[in-house]
Amino acid sequence: MSNIYVHYPFCKQACHYCNFHFSTKKTGRDEMLDLICRELKIRANEVKAPLESIYFGGGTPSIIQPKSIKTFINSVKEQFQFIPEIEITLEANPDDINKDYLLNLKTSGINRLSLGIQSFFNKDLKLMNRVHDQRQALKSINLVRNHFNNYSIDLIYGIPYTTLNNWKNNLDIALDFNPPHISAYALTVEKKTALDFQVKEKKITLLDEELVKQQYDVLVEKLEQKGYINYEFSNFGKPDYFSVNNLNYWNNKPYLGLGPSSHSFDGVSTRSWNISNNHQYKRGIEAGKLFIGQEKLSKKDRYNEYLMTSLRKNEGASLTYVGKSFGNTYVTYLEEQVARHLHERNLFWDGDFLKISNRAKFLTDGIAADLFIV
Ligand code: SF4
């Protein structure tokens, strides 16, 4: 089974922390989904049906008209079999949400929304140059929960000048809605973004790493108390509401990424990516020739990726899986490498599974990297 990811590369304005591929130009917006549809036809042999999920990300796919989304989904359906409970998610920004929009979206086939709230406070939203404000954030959730059972509130922690209390307030407001799913990502400074420039110019001071860690620890503690399962480092869901798209990504399942800059994985050892340029992407599709980069993962790369992705999940890394997939030398290597972290109680064995303890969760990526073969 596999998954389709659609990257819609347009936004109304640039958030200061964002390094995704997108354009704020008005031209080319309407034809993009049609071009993506044509890309799917060219790459149809890469789809391993039946499909488990379709995910519209970006960029800001909530600026696409629901009728175009419907046409796209119908076209995918004509070409490939869907599992009956297929998850079809759209990332949406709060300022795009209104009642009519949601009603039309529902009939288009979308059955899950991922709402880019990021913060409920205008000061944070302004600092990040988000296009919406607090009023729109609250209003959008109230509307969405009336029309969709399955939705996620997406938040950002570690925002400059926030205190632990500010962050707790953000979480409390989100939890008051009792959403089925919450994602929370740390604000990171990506090269060549406006935030990077502001930090270098000393116009913005970043939060101390220790405070970012405290915000993450509070996030895990509060959400687990409320019955959410931290099924992946940044993702929290009520039972039955884990994101299929996210989990399949972390389980290294195959997905086909469509649209400029999107990445694909064949589920075995090949990763590929589309050109990050809307104009050249369009020229390629029109000529029936795609600009795709590709890399083959070695056994060592796949082992390292397995450790990184599995330790981020609550399930952990399976020693049996390592043995079966990579051989006994890898098992011995892993057993040797984990010793220090077991001793420091950062990691523990739960039967066959190696897991991160709650106290060390914030350090997951670094701990996984210590176990890599370099
Ligand atoms: S809306 Fe999303 S993709 Fe667009 S600039 Fe902001 S964070 Fe980036």
Q: What is the pLDDT of residue 168?
A: 98
Residues 100 and 223 in one domain: yes
Q: What is the pLDDT of residue 289?
A: 84
Using CA positions, which residue lies closest to atom 2 of ligand 1?
59
Q: Is 103 a domain residue?
A: yes
Q: Is 265 a domain residue?
A: no
Q: Which residues contact 96 (CB under 8 A, 6 or more apart)?
A: 60, 62, 63
Burial (0-12, 13-18, 19+ Cβ within 10 Å), 275: middle
- Rounded distance from Cα 204 to ligand 1 centre (Å): 20
Residues 91 and 230 in one domain: yes
Residues 335 and 245 in one domain: no
Q: What is the CA 33 to chain-centroid distance, rounded?
A: 20
Residues 298 and 285: beta-carbon distance below 8 Å:
no
The H or E element containing residue 4 is strand 2-8
Q: Which of 185, 218, 250 finishes a domain? A: 250
- Residue 326, token pair as written in the block: 């990579």
Using CA positions, which residue lies closest to atom 3 of ligand 1?
59
Give the CATH number of the domain where residue 46 resides.
Answer: 3.20.20.70
Residues 220 and 81 in one domain: yes
Q: Is 221 a domain residue?
A: yes
Q: How far apart are CA 94 and CA 15, in angstroms?
A: 14
Q: Which domain holds residue 129?
A: 2-250
Residues 240 and 104 in one domain: yes
Q: What is the pLDDT of residue 48?
A: 87
Q: What is the CA 350 to chain-centroid distance, rounded?
A: 27
- pLDDT, tens only, 46-77: 998 899 999 999 999 999 999 999 999 999 99
Where residue 291 falls among pLDDT bands split at 50, 70, 90?
A: confident
Mean pLDDT rounded to a whole number for the chain: 97
Q: Which of 212, 233, 250 finishes a domain? A: 250
Q: What is the CA 364 to chain-centroid distance, rounded?
A: 17
Q: Is 29 a domain residue?
A: yes
Mean pLDDT of 88-116: 98
Residues 228 and 313 in one domain: no
pTM listed for this prediction: 0.96
Residue among 278, 341, 306, 372 nearest 32 (CA): 278
**For helices 164-176 and 209-225, what crossing angle results, to 10°?**
30
DSSP 159: -
Q: What is the percentage of the chain residues whose pLDDT exceeds 70? A: 100
Residues 244 and 328 in one domain: no
Where residue 117 falls among pLDDT bands split at 50, 70, 90?
A: very high
Q: How far apart are CA 93 and CA 130, in angstroms?
A: 9
Beta strands in 1-133 (DSSP E): 2-8, 51-58, 82-92, 112-118
- Rounded distance from Cα 154 to ligand 1 centre (Å): 12
Q: What is the pLDDT of residue 39?
A: 97
If one compares 48 and 24, the residue with the highest pLDDT of the two is 24
Give the CATH number of the domain where residue 345 resides.
Answer: 1.10.10.920
Q: How far apart are CA 209 and CA 169, in angstroms?
A: 20
Residue 63 Cβ < 6 Å to ligand 1: no
Q: How far apart are CA 303 and CA 47, in angstroms?
A: 25
Residue among 64, 65, 56, 165 nearest 113 (CA): 56
Nearest atom within ligand 1 for CA of residue 58: 3
Query: Helices (H), strands (E): how many in the chain?
Result: 15, 15
Mean pLDDT of 227-245: 97
Q: What is the pLDDT of residue 185?
A: 98
The answer to whether the Cα torsion of 109, 112, 116, 120 is positive or negative is positive
Q: What is the pLDDT of residue 73?
A: 98
Q: Is 292 a domain residue?
A: no
Q: For strand 82-92 and strand 292-296, is the pairing parallel, antiparallel, or unpaired?
A: unpaired
Residue among 115, 74, 82, 62 nearest 3 (CA): 82
Residue 61 Cβ < 6 Å to ligand 1: no
Residue among 59, 111, 113, 26 nearest 258 (CA): 59
- pLDDT, tens only, 148-163: 999 999 999 999 999 9
Residues 244 and 318 in one domain: no
Mean pLDDT of 206-232: 97
Q: Which of 250, 275, 290 finishes a domain? A: 250
Residues 203 and 320 in one domain: no
Residues 16 and 106 in one domain: yes
Residues 324 and 197 in one domain: no
Residues 51 and 83: beta-carbon distance below 8 Å:
yes
Q: Is 344 a domain residue?
A: yes
Residues 16 and 78 in one domain: yes
CA-based angle 306:307:308, to the nearest 5?
Answer: 95
Mutate to test the pocket of ligand 1, among 6, 7, 15, 125 (most ligand atoms within 8 A of CB): 15
- Rounded distance from Cα 132 to ligand 1 centre (Å): 12
Nearest atom within ligand 1 for CA of residue 129: 6
- pLDDT, tens only, 327-342: 999 999 999 999 999 9
- Rounded distance from Cα 59 to ligand 1 centre (Å): 5
Nearest atom within ligand 1 for CA of residue 91: 2
Q: Is 269 a domain residue?
A: no
Q: Is 270 a domain residue?
A: no
Using CA positions, which residue lies closest to atom 8 of ligand 1?
18
Residues in the chain: 374
- Largest Cα separation within the chain, whole Å, is 59
- Rounded distance from Cα 334 to ligand 1 centre (Å): 38
Q: What's the number of domains the chain is made of?
A: 2
Amino acid at 294: Q
Burial (0-12, 13-18, 19+ Cβ within 10 Å), 6: buried
Mean pLDDT of 282-307: 94
Kindly report whether the peptide bond that precedes residue 160 is cis, defined as omega within 30 degrees of 0: no
